[in-house]
A and B are shown apart, each in its own frame.
Chain A
Amino acid sequence: MTASLLDVLRAIRAPVAAILLTLAIGFLLVASITDEPVRAYRDLLFANFDSLSNFALFLNRATPLTLIALGVVFAFRAGIFNVGGEGQLYAGAITTTVIGIAGASMPAIVLFPLALLGGIAAGAVVGWVPGVLKVRLAVDEVVTTLMLNIIVLLITSWLANQVIRDTTAYGAVSWMVPETIWLPPMPLVPRATSGFLVAVVLAFASWVVLFRTRWGAEVRAAGTNLRFAEATGVPAARRVITAMVVAGGLAGLAGSLYVLGVGHRFEQNFSPAYGLVGLTCALLARTHPIGALATALFYAMMLNGAAYMQISTDVPRSLVNLLTGLLVLLMTARLVRAARHA
């Protein structure tokens, strides 16, 4: 028991050190900008917990990040550098919205699963395409996932502006989906989406699937050494494609849950680059599902905290971008050093 606890401590020692160092350097920066560095930092880190509504916003922010990061974890474990989280997210969100609007006359018991599954399926399809191209034609997945992001974003933009646009509202937003299929809020936290619970459950489920099932072992075998996987009889190509379908499905679910639980409609700018931030979360967690949940929570805290900080002091919220870059830098520096010693 103590031994495994030590193992855990050893595993998280480096990322925790990187985070602390980042925050320390950030504090020096803040101190050079404002007269109230302590206040600014307090808001950055703790304003999320000042009120129940702040806490709810924090959970709402963490939900899509967690799900996208989990998707990226699946893709990475299968050896695919999936940069397509944003496109998969948007595909899920727009599909759920379209189904929700088009099926408004249907009973909720039919429409809700239809809208949810439709969103998941749309994300899965957007993940499936680069998976197949990679496996069958050896097309680089970074290129295909990035390009698909643009394609999906432009399609959603056209739909949101031309087809399902709410003409009574300002900006590129769709009509609302029927209230009957809105997700109930989380117990005890009225304004938080219960989608967060889904994300937490899926984080643990992902860990089980990846590390405690034969299928997970085969995905990881394919991801770490495709030729080894083939030789041991793993249908490696199929595993890689399936992992990408799961990755896309999780990001699609993120979009779907956002529409059903938070936005209740499609908003063209609902994502502050969740795809990229989710990718960073997954990488910082060293593609571990539970770790991805932790890093997603940390990022959600920083993203929202930065807004509170900007309101209460004169420190611009873009400080968070700087801290993010710094954190990635420190984490990478650590990895390179470890690699050289190995």
Chain B
Amino acid sequence: MTDRDIILSLGGIAKSFGEKPALVHVNLDVARGEVHVICGENGAGKSTLMNILAGIHQPSAGSLVLNGRTVTIADPIAASRLGIGMVHQHFTLVPSMTVAENIFLGRQPRRFAILSDGQAMVERAAELIARYNFRLDPEAPVRTLSVGQRQRVEILKALAFDAELLILDEPTAVLTPPEVDELIGVVDGLRSKGRTVLFITHKLREVKAVSDRVTVIRHGRSVSTHRTADVTEADIARDMVGRDVFLVGRKSGGMRVIGDAVLALDRVTMTNHAGRRLLDRVSFEVRAGEVFGIAGVDGNGQTELAEAVAGLMPVQAGTIRFGERDMTVASVPARQAAGLGYVPEDRLDRGLSVTMSVAENVAAANYGRAGLVRNGLVSQSRLATFADDKIREFDVRGAQPATPAGWLSGGNMQKLVIARELERQPSLLLICQPTRGLDIGASEFVYKRILDAADRGAGVLLISSELSEIFALSDRIGVMYSGRLMGVLDRADADEGRVGVLMNGGAEQAA
């Protein structure tokens, strides 16, 4: 590879925030016209690196060479002038404006210097769309578009600036599997048009599907760069974590015995104040010893389903049974007593009180069962011992019993929530988005705990928008769309194609 082929070269980039180093030493060469994936765990420094390229942060040390010239990128405007276009994870579009207006927002073609030339704008947008084969209507308002289409508008916004180097920051986080496939097609198209794409992700499957080369970042250092074709997913995972990763699967243990239903929902319906159905006649059973996975794009009723089962939101119709007992209107403590363990989707919202101590967070709901109250007072020594045990058992790093829970990292907070809920040996474990924001190491731990619970005989209701973990853990998979359970598939019959179609509401095509 000659120097002329390198569009971007980073040498020894470092960045600290206060005393905390986010990047220690990153080297990166991006060749012209390639799709280069930056891969790393949460907190490895990917976002910081991208923000340096986008001109949002300035590096503390290191050199940045673009097209053979050493540059400093003072701000995002300078970045776009240098031909670097950034597509953020969260979209920055105006829903009420059309595709064309969004693409040219702030730099509309002008007629007589001041009048905006709508006709020219639509034509230029149509031309851009045609050149990249994006299948978008330039005059459609953005609010009518799907998430995948909106993302393509974002990409066009960057391309309209003549970005040579396009940075996509975790672009698949918000997409359904069919949309991910489409995006991969879009990226292929960009490559064939000679654009260079820097693609940030921590999902191994995408690395293999999309990239020419992959650079792995760990703890703020670039640890390896490979031609994607030369490495396996396991190789990349090992670089990301720094050791061999045990990618657990449901198939591993054969000791599980599927028993009677521990949870049965019958036509459960929940409506909001406006009368819209958040849950629409949802019926299913979770049996002892099985993991029942609920897949779906966020916001299709999964949160409401979890709150209904946990007893935190009332349902308007239908019944919820724990085993034989009707628990439709039972209180949360009654459900806990009946065997419910509940790991909510957002640990900062329902999972923890961040200002209270680790000990008090892990003891909540367990005071009686764990024998922490003596003569009406909470025994401080028992509380500390209990918390210490849980910290050790669940490997909660950086925690002392008296540490405020908010001081822990996301993964360790999640372990704390799981430690609390598993303490009661629940017969029904309701666990939502269990690895959201967690790195591979912590995810591995959480998966193991979920499978252990099922092996012990608990019924597990797993709700996740992360399809890979639904597939890895579930015995049966239910798919939710718009408040309805679109279908239930046995793990053996389920593949990403069928589940993906159901996730988009297409029951007919799947059948």
Question: Given that A217-B367, A233-B333, A233-B365 are contacting pairs, would A228 and B353 also be in contact in the complex, using a CB cutoff of 8 Å?
Answer: yes
Q: Are B378 and A221 in contact (CB under 8 A)?
A: no
Q: Are B342 and A231 in contact (CB under 8 A)?
A: yes
Question: Given that A224-B356, A228-B351, A228-B353 are contacting pairs, would A214 and B367 also be in contact in the complex, using a CB cutoff of 8 Å?
Answer: yes
Chain A residues closer than 8 Å to B350, beta-carbon distance: 227-228, 230-231
Chain A residues closer than 8 Å to B331, beta-carbon distance: 233, 235
Interface size on B, residues (CB 8 A): 28
CB distance from A240 to the nearest CB of B (A): 14
Chain A residues closer than 8 Å to B365, beta-carbon distance: 232-234
A212, A228, A230: the one contacting B377 at CB < 8 Å is: A212
Chain A residues closer than 8 Å to B310, beta-carbon distance: 231
| A235–B331 alpha-carbon span in the complex (Å) | 9
Q: Secondary structure at chain A's binding surface: helix, strand, loop or mixed? A: helix
Chain A residues closer than 8 Å to B335, beta-carbon distance: 233
Q: Are B353 and A225 in contact (CB under 8 A)?
A: yes
CB distance from B368 to the nearest CB of A (A): 8
B373 at interface, CB cutoff 8 A: yes
| A227–B378 alpha-carbon span in the complex (Å) | 23
A214, A220, A225, A230: the one contacting B332 at CB < 8 Å is: A230
CB distance from B91 to the nearest CB of A (A): 28
A214, A225, A228, A235: the one contacting B378 at CB < 8 Å is: A214
From 180 to 220 in chain A, residues with beta carbon under 8 angstroms from any chain B beta carbon are: 208, 212-214, 217, 220
Q: Are B352 and A225 in contact (CB under 8 A)?
A: yes
* Residue among A208, A220, A232 with the highest chain B CB neighbour number at 10 A: A232
Residue of B nearest to A216 (CB): B378
Q: Are A228 and B333 in contact (CB under 8 A)?
A: no
Chain A residues closer than 8 Å to B378, beta-carbon distance: 212-214, 217
CB distance from A235 to the nearest CB of B (A): 8
Q: Are A228 and B349 in contact (CB under 8 A)?
A: yes
Q: Contact string, B339-372, partner A, CB cutoff 8 A, digits 1/0?
A: 0001010000111111110001001110100000
Chain B residues closer than 8 Å to A208, beta-carbon distance: 377
From 42 to 85 in chain A, residues with beta carbon under 8 angstroms from any chain B beta carbon are: none
B336 at interface, CB cutoff 8 A: yes
Chain A residues closer than 8 Å to B373, beta-carbon distance: 213-214
B376 at interface, CB cutoff 8 A: yes
Residue of B nearest to A218 (CB): B364
| A232–B364 alpha-carbon span in the complex (Å) | 6
Q: Are A233 and B353 in contact (CB under 8 A)?
A: no
B234 at interface, CB cutoff 8 A: no
| A208–B364 alpha-carbon span in the complex (Å) | 18
B312 at interface, CB cutoff 8 A: yes
CB distance from B354 to the nearest CB of A (A): 7
Q: Contact string, B42-63, partner A, CB cutoff 8 A, digits 1/0?
A: 0000000000000000000000
A217, A231, A233: the one contacting B360 at CB < 8 Å is: A217
A213, A221, A231, A235: the one contacting B312 at CB < 8 Å is: A231
Chain B residues closer than 8 Å to A234, beta-carbon distance: 364-365
A213, A224, A225, A232: the one contacting B376 at CB < 8 Å is: A213
Q: Are A220 and B356 in contact (CB under 8 A)?
A: yes
* Residue among B349, B350, B351, B354 with the highest chain A CB neighbour number at 10 A: B350
| A230–B310 alpha-carbon span in the complex (Å) | 10
Q: Are B352 and A217 in contact (CB under 8 A)?
A: no
Residue of B nearest to A225 (CB): B353
Chain B residues closer than 8 Å to A232, beta-carbon distance: 332, 364-365, 420
Q: What would be 21 A-B contacts, judged by CB atoms less than 8 Å apart?
A: A212-B377, A212-B378, A213-B376, A217-B360, A217-B367, A217-B378, A220-B356, A221-B360, A224-B355, A225-B349, A225-B354, A227-B350, A228-B350, A228-B353, A229-B353, A231-B312, A231-B342, A231-B344, A233-B332, A233-B335, A235-B331
What 6 new A-B contacts, CB under 8 Å, besides A212-B380, A228-B364, A234-B365? A214-B378, A217-B356, A217-B364, A220-B356, A221-B364, A229-B353
